[in-house]
């Protein structure tokens, strides 16, 4: 029963992950842009909304076996809570250079309404962030999200399986994301890949003249 539930959780999450990645592919966005032109400006907001709905659908359908893997007690529960707080601080610092209106899809719609949307941007005007913590690790948002989700005082079977799936998806997703960044920024991003680790920081600060390039 427990193994069956775990398999079902993995399958459902894999379906969510596949649809999420498929909708994010430049190939799909280019085909759509050919058909709807600058209305692709609305795609980012659609993508984010559909991702939330798909994840909610996955969560509702997933079995949730009532099995506790571990339950930490004092002082270890306090330690994990403190580490979670540090992870939240790191996550906030990671998203600081990110244009959240662009990430959500609001800026795209504003440019569309002003008749200034560039269809070549597809659904997002990308920038290469290599400032602050991005000099230490290429995907700090993924790193601190993993730490935040994993540092729990109590771990159930459902949450553990989901957490493992999320970690795997973050790693695989970073590979696809970086392929698009190489396509966009070319050798500049390849050099960045060589000098800064993907997810596990080595704390060797990257020296750069121009920290943010468009």
At 10-51, the pLDDT tens digits run 999 999 999 999 999 999 999 999 999 999 999 999 999 999
pLDDT of residue 214: 41
Tokens representing 94 are: 């990671």
Domain count, the chain: 1
Whole-angstrom distance, CA of residue 184 vs CA of residue 180? 6
| 206 confidence band (pLDDT: 50, 70, 90) | low
CA distance 32 to 187: 28
Model pLDDT, residue 213: 47
Are 172 and 103 spatial neighbours (Cβ–Cβ below 8 Å)?
no
Cβ(63)–Cβ(5) below 8 Å:
yes
In angstroms, rounded to a whole number, what is the distance separating the alpha carbons of residues 209 and 189?
14
The pLDDT assigned to 205 comes to 55
Question: What is the maximum span of the chain, computed from C-alpha positions, in angstroms?
Answer: 59
* Alpha helices per DSSP H over 75-115: 76-95, 100-104, 106-113
Mean pLDDT of 93-97: 92
What is the average per-residue pLDDT within 160-183?
94
Q: How far apart are CA 112 and CA 107, in angstroms?
A: 9
User: Alpha carbon 11 to chain centroid distance?
Assistant: 20
Q: Between these two residues, 214 and 196, which has the higher pLDDT value?
A: 196
CB atoms inside a 10 Å sphere around CB 76: 12
Closest CA to 169 of 18, 29, 52, 49: 18
Tokens 């939330």 belong to which residue?
52
pTM for the structure as a whole: 0.88
Tokens of 98: 């990110």
Domain assignment of residue 33, given as a range: 2-213
């Amino acid at each position: 029963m427990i193994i069956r539930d775990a398999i079902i959780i993995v399958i459902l999450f894999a379906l969510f992950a596949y649809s999420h990645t498929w909708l994010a592919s430049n190939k799909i966005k280019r085909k759509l842009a050919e058909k709807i032109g600058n209305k692709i400006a609305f795609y980012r907001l659609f993508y984010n909304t559909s991702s939330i709905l798909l994840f909610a659908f996955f969560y509702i359908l997933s079995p949730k076996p009532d099995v506790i893997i571990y339950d930490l007690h004092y002082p270890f529960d306090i330690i994990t809570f403190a580490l979670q707080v540090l992870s939240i601080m790191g996550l906030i610092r990671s998203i600081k250079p990110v244009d959240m209106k662009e990430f959500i899809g609001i800026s795209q719609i504003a440019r569309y309404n002003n008749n200034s949307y560039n269809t070549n941007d597809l659904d997002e005007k990308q920038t290469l962030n290599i400032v602050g913590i991005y000099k230490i690790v290429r995907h700090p948002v993924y790193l601190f999200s993993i730490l935040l989700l994993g540092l729990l005082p109590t771990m159930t079977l459902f949450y553990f399986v989901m957490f493992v799936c999320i970690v795997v998806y973050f790693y695989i997703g970073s590979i696809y994301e970086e392929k698009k960044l190489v396509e966009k920024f070319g050798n500049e991003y390849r050099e960045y890949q060589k000098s800064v680790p993907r997810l596990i920081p080595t704390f060797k600060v990257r020296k750069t003249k121009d920290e943010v390039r468009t």
